[in-house]
Amino acid sequence: MPVFTLLQAVNDAMKTEMSRDRDVVVIGEDVGRDGGVFRATEGLLDMFGPERVMDTPLNESGIVGIAAGMAMYGLRPIAEIQFMDFIYPAFDQIVSEISKIRYRSGGTYSVPMVIRTPYGGGIKGGIYHSQSTEAFFTHLPGLKVVTPSTPYDAKGLLIASIRDEDPVLFLEPKRVYRSFKEEVPEKDYTVPIGTARIVRKGDDVTVVSYGASVHSCIAAVALAEKEGISVELIDLRTLVPVDIETVIGSVKKTGRIVIVNEATKFSSYAAEISALVAERAVDALNAPIYRVSGFDTPFNYTWESVYLPDEQRIMEHIRKAVNY
Report the chain's terminal Cα–Cα distance, integer Å. 46
What angle do the packed helices 151-163 and 6-20 form, to 10 degrees?
30
Given the residues 129, 139, 215, 317, the one annotated as active site = 129
Check: CB of residue 200 under 8 Å from CB of residue 221.
yes
The beta strand positions in 137-180, using DSSP E, are 144-146, 168-173
**What SS3 state is found at 29?**
coil
**Cα dihedral across residues 88, 91, 92, 93: positive or negative:** positive
Check: CB of residue 82 under 8 Å from CB of residue 41.
no
129 is catalytic: yes
Q: What CA–CA distance (Å, rounded) separates 296 from 39?
A: 32
Q: Report DSSP state, residue 100.
A: T
Please classify residue 290 by burial: count the beta carbons closer than 10 Å to its beta carbon, then call 0-12 exposed, 13-18 middle and 19+ buried: buried
Q: Which residues carry out catalysis?
A: 129
